[in-house]
A and B are shown apart, each in its own frame.
Chain A
């Protein structure tokens, strides 16, 4: 297995917080959604002090990096090189700034996906949403709190990516994330001794930066599908992230098409033979993995439905 462990840690309690710029008169709506921790603008902090059962912290959004609304744009009216939908994922941003702090501004159900995305990538984030987003956000936070402990599970990756910080390098990373090619960002090549990808190298020249899809395909070809830590079949809108070790791996699956409905059936292949498994799925308690199979150095299983977010623990 060509994976290496990164020192990046996933704090179990690093839960996204709701950013709520409205006044304390809205506290009943928050309580109704089960939200007990919020971040507020400094100017609002005083007025919330008198509210019971809701903890507040003041945050200046200008100090945080803006994250995009996680979703899918099908762009059916646009001509494009592929028929794949355009997935708006923040994965590359989070990998570029693993210690960064981010804020989302997302309406409705997307608040739940935003919270899950930030959690899966282990970054600090606040989520600003509207009233329609309170319930899904609150449900997601409770779901995240209910997950089995996953302290200090390092991210798993197939290769290192040398990030020069340029927009082109960022877009290249974006396509890698969208293709479920798992990598770790480094500033200098060669720290792991494994495969390294760098925009501007002979294999990935900057002259090809205008077609990051092509660059991602080259990375995939170089790596080979057999060696990929993670494969997802049956959907173009599900992105996975792996953390853990060879003995205990945790897989996060994010359905970026959640706003358009759940995904009906995906097949997942994770490198490594894992005899035991447990799935915890948001809004689908009690669901189990189907057609589970191990052998030939890989584990495969099917999720019958993926509404938004699933966490799958795999153990040898």
Chain B
């Protein structure tokens, strides 16, 4: 392809602790080793012994590079908490409160006195902005239209034209459930990659990650085409959920698995390659550099069985949004949130890799899961340079309304 470049991804150096564990694992049987690894008291202290497949990244290099700053605030996250944000009795969200939460959070993150200045640090009037939502749990849990509305209002205030704002996700059938178009300004566009499941037409044939996980013949995962051809900036608006394969689904997974095709192939039986695939996908340009802001929707959440609400008992209401530019740090805090909730509910840790916890889904029992979860994907993404994972180097500011 003229103007294209392929590059091979080098696996980041393996931490000494991992090597030590591999050595220990060498002398233990698999079950005993997994239990040993699961017994680690530190959250995400060890990525484990997962082998990393060979990834080949192909992307266009003739694209104009934006002036985006994906790590403008490395290691920082701002959590805005408001009890009145959600009426749990009626399961409804209070739009004015969400507006206030977003405004407070943006000002806290940027230090700006006014909302417009805060947003103008990320977005210019000439930008074409993709808002990456998450609809995989709709209609029970998804990026809240109330939050999307507030984001769109701020983009318009900066001067972005409505027709240059795209709310996007992969699957049309899931987007249709949420009906974002009914709550945002006229002219704002709804974009999806797959009108029929599995169709590759919405993806860029020249930008993909090629990898063979389980012998599947289709080894490519292609990037949503507007990311390479249309958007100049992306605002990532994930939900904050437990995920039965990835451990959690937050900034990184929403961006990665929500922008590339053919990703479900990474899980087979109890094995999930989310550990390395999520970070690898999220690192692909121009997706990485155009994603300038993450606004995590934690108004509602799931602590088990995610990404879909398999049972109402797993739904809970953190009543928060979290803002930042460092997806690794933000997802680290998400892991902490889900771990705390699971502990409160008496559920095993996300990092528990015990074979006896495996049971083919649905995940209706908090003690069992279909996959060995891979929350280590967040730390792995940190090793790829997508953000800071080390707990001592990251900070979450909390704003209580």
With A267-B220, A291-B206, A293-B206 in contact, is A217–B215 under 8 Å at CB?
yes
With A293-B206, A302-B205 in contact, is A267–B200 under 8 Å at CB?
yes
Q: Which chain B residue has the least Cβ–Cβ distance from A216?
A: B215
Additional A-B contacts beyond A265-B200, A291-B206, A302-B205 (16; CB < 8 A):
A82-B214, A213-B215, A220-B217, A231-B217, A232-B217, A234-B200, A235-B198, A235-B218, A236-B218, A264-B199, A264-B201, A267-B205, A291-B205, A293-B1, A295-B1, A304-B201
Most buried by A among B205, B217, B219: B217
Question: Distance (Å) between the CB of B227 and the closest chain A CB?
Answer: 16
Instruction: State which residues 222-272 of A face B: CB under 8 Å.
Output: 225, 231-236, 264-267
In the assembled complex, the Cα of A120 lies from the Cα of B215 at a distance in Å of: 27
Chain A residues with CB under 8 Å of B196's CB are 264
Chain A residues with CB under 8 Å of B198's CB are 234-235, 264
Report whether A300 and B199 are in contact in the complex, using a CB–CB cutoff of 8 Å: no
Chain B residues with CB under 8 Å of A232's CB are 217-218
Q: Is A179 an interface residue (CB 8 A)?
A: yes
Q: Which chain B residue has the least Cβ–Cβ distance from A228?
A: B217
The tally of residues in A whose CB lies under 8 Å from a CB in B reads: 25
Question: Distance (Å) between the CB of A211 and the closest chain B CB?
Answer: 11
Contact with B along A277-316 (1 / 0, CB 8 A): 0000000000000010101000010101000000000000
Q: Is A57 an interface residue (CB 8 A)?
A: no
Q: Is B64 an interface residue (CB 8 A)?
A: no
Question: Distance (Å) between the CB of B77 and the closest chain A CB?
Answer: 37
Secondary structure type dominating chain B contacts: loop
> What are the nearest 5 A-B pairs in CB distance?
A264-B199, A265-B201, A234-B200, A265-B200, A217-B215
Q: Is B2 an interface residue (CB 8 A)?
A: yes
Give the interface size bracket for B toward A: 20 to 34
Instruction: State which residues 1-17 of B face A: CB under 8 Å.
Output: 1-2, 4
Instruction: State which residues 164-209 of A face B: CB under 8 Å.
Output: 179-180
**Which listed residue, A179, A267, A302, touches B217 by the CB 8 Å rule?**
A179
Report whether B206 and A233 are in contact in the complex, using a CB–CB cutoff of 8 Å: no
Question: Distance (Å) between the CB of A235 and the closest chain B CB?
Answer: 8
Most buried by B among A213, A232, A233, A291: A233
In the assembled complex, the Cα of A295 lies from the Cα of B58 at a distance in Å of: 14
Task: Pick 15 A–B contacts, CB within 8 A, sort by A.
Answer: A82-B216, A84-B216, A84-B217, A180-B217, A217-B215, A225-B212, A236-B217, A236-B218, A264-B195, A264-B196, A264-B201, A265-B200, A265-B201, A291-B206, A300-B1
**Which listed residue, A225, A235, A293, A300, touches B219 by the CB 8 Å rule?**
A225
Report whether A295 and B2 are in contact in the complex, using a CB–CB cutoff of 8 Å: yes
Q: Which chain A residue has the least Cβ–Cβ distance from B2?
A: A295
Report whether B215 and A300 are in contact in the complex, using a CB–CB cutoff of 8 Å: no
Chain A residues with CB under 8 Å of B215's CB are 82, 213, 217, 220
In the assembled complex, the Cα of A265 lies from the Cα of B261 at a distance in Å of: 12
Contact with A along B291-308 (1 / 0, CB 8 A): 000000000000000000
Report whether B1 and A265 are in contact in the complex, using a CB–CB cutoff of 8 Å: no
Q: Which chain A residue has the least Cβ–Cβ distance from B215?
A: A217
Chain A residues with CB under 8 Å of B214's CB are 82
Chain B residues with CB under 8 Å of A220's CB are 215, 217
Report whether B201 and A302 are in contact in the complex, using a CB–CB cutoff of 8 Å: yes
